[in-house]
Structure 1
Amino acid sequence: MTDLYYDPWDFDIDLDPYPTYRRLRNECPVYYNERHHFWGLSRYADVDVALKDTARLSSAKGDILEVVMADPVMPPGIFINEDPPLHTVHRAIVSKAFTPKKMRAIEDKIRAFCVACLDPLVGGERFDFVQDLGAELPMRTIGMLAGIPDAEQPAVRAHANQVLRNEPGKPMDIKKDHYFTGDMFGEYVEWREKNPSDDLITELLNVEFEDETGTTRKLAKQELIVFLAVVAGAGVETTGRLFGWMGKVLGEHPDQRNELAADHSRIPAAIEELLRFEPPGPHVARYVAADDVTFQGQTVPAGSALLLMLASANRDERHFENPDAFDIHRKPAGHLTFGRGAHFCVGAPLARLEGRVALEEVLKRWPEWDVDMTEARRSRTSTVRGWDTMPAVVRWREDQT
C-alpha cells in the first residue's frame, strides 16, 4: 500500500482520479496524506455521515482544504463556512432566493438567456459547451437574480474563476488575515440602496431577521456583500463546469444522447446522473473540532483537516450498481454532489434548472455532436473540476433543415 498516494493538487491524478479513488475505498478508506497533513474519506457511507455531522466536523474554518489548513480569519456572512445555529440563520435568508416558486418564475428568463447564447451559433460547424454556454448562462442567471448590471458580469465571472485557481501540484495561496472580503460587490450594494429593484440585493437590504443572539435586525453591509460574493462564486463557477461535462459525457454516449433528444422528459434524470458521474465540485473539507472522530475503526484526531471525497463516494460500488458506467436510466440512489444535511447546496434547484434547460435547448439545435478533445482544455483548479474549453463538432442529420 506504500504506492497508494492521493492529493487533490496532483494534476496527473486529477486528470482521471477514479482509479485512485477505487484503491482508496478498497485499501485505505480513511487516508492520511503525510506530505500535506490532511485526512480523507472516500466511501459513500463515511462521507454521508461526515457531511451531516455538524457538531464534530466544523465548516467554520472553511470548506476548501487549503482554507481549513490555513485557518484564516473569516468575515461574517460566509454562510457556507458557518456552523449551526449561525449558519441556520444566514442560510434561511439566502434560501428564499432559490425556492421552487422562484425557480418556476425564472425558467422562461433562463431559457431566453440560453437561446441568446446558442442561436447565433446555429448553422456553424462547431460550438463550445464551456465558452459559449457554461461561461455565459450561469453568470447571466446570477446577474439577473442578484441585480448585477450586464456590463459588470464578465468581471464577476473572471473574479470567481480566478480566486479558485492554483498552480499545478500546489495548494492555493490563502492569506490568513485577508481570506475573503467580497469587496467588488460593495458598489452594487450602494447603488441598489438608492435604486431598489426586484432582485436579491434589494431583498437582502430590506430583510429583517432574528439572529443567533435573539436580536431582530437587518444584515450588516459586510454580511450582505459577502453573501453576494458567495452566491455569485458558487453559482458561476460550479454550475459553469457542469456544461463542459455535459458536452463530453453525452458526446461519448451517443445512444443515450439520442434517447434524450427523442424524449426530453428523460433530461432531469440525465442531469442527476451527470452530477453523480462527473461532479463539478469533487470534494469538500471539514475541520475536526473538539473531539477525535472515528471512521472504519481509524481515529482522526481533533484539529485535523478532513477531506470528504464526494466524487469517490459517487462511484462507490457499495452504494451504486456498476458505478463507473454512465446510465441515464439509473434509479435514484442519492448522489452526494450537493452535499447532505445542514450544508446541502442552497443553489441546487437553480443548478438543476439551468442544466435541464440548457440540455433541452442544445438538443433542439444539435441532437448529435462529437467533442474535439484535441482542442479541449482542462481547468487548472483543484476545488472545482472541469474544463475551460469543450468544443463540439456538430453532425447534422439528413432530416434536419
Structure 2
Amino acid sequence: MSELYYDPWDVEIDLDPYPTYRRLRDEAPVYFNERHNFWGISRYPDVDAALKDTARLSSAKGDILEVVLTDPVIPPGVFINEDPPVHTIHRAIVARAFTPKRMRAIEDKVRAFCVACLDPLVGADRFDFVRDLGAELPMKTIGMLAGIPDSEQPAVRAHANEVLRNEAGKPMEIDKDRYFTGEMFGEYIAWREKNPSDDLITELLAVEFEDETGTTRKLTKQELTIFLAVVAGAGVETTGRLFGWMGKVLAEHPDQRAELVTDRSLIPGAIEELLRFEPPGPHVARYVATDDVTFQDRVIPAGSALLMMLASANRDERHFDNPDEFDIRRKPGGHLTFGRGAHFCVGAPLARLEGRIALDEVLTRFPKWDIDIAGALRSRTATVRGWDAMPAVLG
C-alpha cells in the first residue's frame, strides 16, 4: 500500500478524495502535512467538536487554509473570520436576511427565477446543471436579497468565482495586505443611500446595534461593504456548486431520481443527503489560538493551522450507516456541511430553499437525464469542490 499522503491542493486526490479520507480516519485521524505545515482532522466526533470550539480554535486569521497560513490583515466586518463576541454581534445583523419569515416571503420569487432559467430549455436535447442553473439562480437570488442590480450581477458572480481560484496543485495566492476588500460593492451602497428599497443594503444602512465596546452605532461603510462581499461570495459560489452535484449524483442513481419524480415530499431529504454526500465546501480551517489542543491523544500545538475535513466526517462509518451510499431516505440531519455552533452557515436556509426549488422544477421538466461526463468541467479551486460545467443529455 502506498504511503498515506493528504493535500487539499493535490489534483489527483481531489478527483475522488474519499478513499484517502477513509485511510486518514483509519490510519491517521490526526494528520500533519509537513510540506505545507498544517494539521488535519477527519473523524466525525473530532470535526464536530472542533467546529464548536471557538475558545481555542480561532477564525480570526481566516477559515480558508491558505488564508490561515498567510495570516493576512483581515478588515473588520468579515464576520466569518471573527470570534465571539464580535462575531456574534455582526452575525446577528446579517442573519436578518435569512430568517424563516424572510425565506417564506421570497420562495415564490426564487421559484420564478428558477422557472425563468429552465423554461427556455424545454424541448432541447440537453442542458447544463451549472451553466444554465447553478451559475444563474443563486446570483439572481442573492442579487434580489442584497439589492444588487441585474446589470451588475454577472460581474459579482465572476468576482466571487475568481477570488477562490488556485493554480492546479498549488495553494491560492493571498495578498497579505489587501485581503477581502469588497470594494466593488461601494457604489451599490452609495446608490442605495439615495434610492432605498426593500433589500438587505437598505436595511443594513439603517440598522443600529451595540458593538463590542458597548457603543450604539450604525455600521461603517467599510463594514457594510465587507458584509455584502461575504454574503454574495458565499451565497453564489458554494450554492452554485451544489447544482452540479445534483445533476451528476441523481443521474448515477436513476431509481432514486424516479422516486423523487413521483413523490416530491422526498425532495428536502434528498437535498440534505446531497449536501452530506458531496459537500460543495469540503473543509474549513481554524487557527489554534492560545492553548495546545488534543484529538485522539495527539497534541496539536498552539499556533498551528488546523484543517477540519467536513467531507470526510460526512462519510465516517463511525457515525453514519453505509456512508458511501447515497440514500434519499436517510434520516436527515447530522452532516457537517454547514458547520456547527457559532459559525453554523448563516445562509443555510437559503441554500436549502434554492436546492429544494431547483430540484422540484428540474424534475417537473426533465424527469430523466444522463450526464455527458466527457463534457463536464471540474472547478479548479481548493476551497469549493465542484464543477464549472455539468451537461445533461435529456431523455
- Answer yes or no: same fold by TM over 0.5: yes
Corresponding residue number in structure 1 for 2:241? 241
Corresponding residue number in structure 2 for 1:84? 84
> Is the 1:128–1:389 Cα contact (8 Å) retained in structure 2?
yes
Cα distance in 2 between the residues matched to 1:20 and 1:94: 37
Q: CA deviation at 1:392?
A: 0.3
For residues 270-289 of structure 1, the aligned pairs below 5 Å read: 270-289=270-289
Q: Which amino acid in 2 is paired with 1:139?
A: M
Corresponding residue number in structure 1 for 2:341? 341
Q: What SS does the aligned partner of 2:190 have?
A: helix
Report the CA distance shift for 1:224/1:9 in structure 2 as closer, same or farther (over 3 A). same
Corresponding residue number in structure 2 for 1:122? 122
Which consecutive unaligned segments of at least 5 residues does structure 1 have?
396-401
Corresponding residue number in structure 1 for 2:373? 373
Corresponding residue number in structure 1 for 2:58? 58
Cα distance in 2 between the residues matched to 1:179 and 1:80: 14
Q: What SS does the aligned partner of 1:181 have?
A: coil
Q: Which amino acid in 2 is paired with 1:372?
A: D
Corresponding residue number in structure 2 for 1:200? 200
Q: CA deviation at 1:348?
A: 0.1
Q: CA deviation at 1:260?
A: 0.3
> Is the 2:181–2:226 Cα contact (8 Å) retained in structure 1?
yes
Cα distance in 2 between the residues matched to 1:117 and 1:205: 32
> Is the 2:285–2:307 Cα contact (8 Å) retained in structure 1?
yes
> Is the 1:63–1:81 Cα contact (8 Å) retained in structure 2?
yes
Which consecutive unaligned segments of at least 5 residues does structure 2 have?
none
Q: CA deviation at 1:332?
A: 2.5
Q: CA deviation at 1:21?
A: 0.1
1:263 to 2:263 alignment: yes
Deviation string 1:263-298 (CA, Å, 9 cap, x unpaired) is 111000000000000000000000000110000000
Corresponding residue number in structure 2 for 1:23? 23
Q: CA deviation at 1:58?
A: 0.1
Q: What SS does the aligned partner of 1:250 have?
A: helix
Corresponding residue number in structure 2 for 1:398? none
Cα distance in 1 between the residues matched to 2:282 and 2:333: 18
Deviation string 1:71-118 (CA, Å, 9 cap, x unpaired) is 000100000000000000000000010000000000000000000000
Q: CA deviation at 1:60?
A: 0.2
Cα distance in 2 between the residues matched to 1:84 and 1:21: 31
> Is the 2:272–2:333 Cα contact (8 Å) retained in structure 1?
no
Corresponding residue number in structure 2 for 1:97? 97
Cα distance in 2 between the residues matched to 1:319 and 1:185: 42
Deviation string 1:144-196 (CA, Å, 9 cap, x unpaired) is 00000000000000000000000011000011111110000000000001110
Q: Which amino acid in 1 is paired with 2:394?
A: V
> Is the 1:320–1:333 Cα contact (8 Å) retained in structure 2?
no
For residues 134-149 of structure 1, the aligned pairs below 5 Å read: 134-149=134-149
Corresponding residue number in structure 2 for 1:399? none
Q: What SS does the aligned partner of 1:324 have?
A: coil
- Superposition CA RMSD, Å: 0.7
Q: What SS does the aligned partner of 1:116 have?
A: helix
Deviation string 1:38-72 (CA, Å, 9 cap, x unpaired) is 00000000000000000000000000000000000
Q: CA deviation at 1:331?
A: 1.3
Corresponding residue number in structure 1 for 2:223? 223
Cα distance in 2 between the residues matched to 1:16 and 1:179: 30
Q: What SS does the aligned partner of 1:286 have?
A: strand
The TM-score normalised by the length of structure 1 is: 0.98
Corresponding residue number in structure 2 for 1:191? 191
Cα distance in 2 between the residues matched to 1:367 and 1:354: 18
Q: What SS does the aligned partner of 2:375 have?
A: coil
Aligned length: 395
Q: What SS does the aligned partner of 2:373 have?
A: coil
Q: Which amino acid in 2 is paired with 1:230?
A: V
Q: CA deviation at 1:2?
A: 7.3
Q: What SS does the aligned partner of 1:72 have?
A: coil
Q: What SS does the aligned partner of 1:374 have?
A: helix
Q: Which amino acid in 2 is paired with 1:288?
A: V
Q: What SS does the aligned partner of 2:287 have?
A: strand
> Is the 2:79–2:91 Cα contact (8 Å) retained in structure 1?
yes
Cα distance in 1 between the residues matched to 2:98 and 2:2: 46
Q: What SS does the aligned partner of 1:131 have?
A: helix
Deviation string 1:239-269 (CA, Å, 9 cap, x unpaired) is 0000000000000000000000001110000
Cα distance in 2 between the residues matched to 1:55 and 1:332: 29
1:252 to 2:226 alignment: no
Cα distance in 2 between the residues matched to 1:30 and 1:159: 35
Corresponding residue number in structure 2 for 1:70? 70
| Identity percentage of aligned residues | 83
Q: CA deviation at 1:333?
A: 4.4
The TM-score normalised by the length of structure 2 is: 0.99
Report the CA distance shift for 1:168/1:60 in structure 2 as closer, same or farther (over 3 A). same
Q: What SS does the aligned partner of 2:363 have?
A: helix
Cα distance in 2 between the residues matched to 1:115 and 1:261: 17
Q: What SS does the aligned partner of 1:258 have?
A: helix
> Is the 2:147–2:201 Cα contact (8 Å) retained in structure 1?
yes
Report the CA distance shift for 1:277/1:163 in structure 2 as closer, same or farther (over 3 A). same
Cα distance in 2 between the residues matched to 1:244 and 1:113: 18
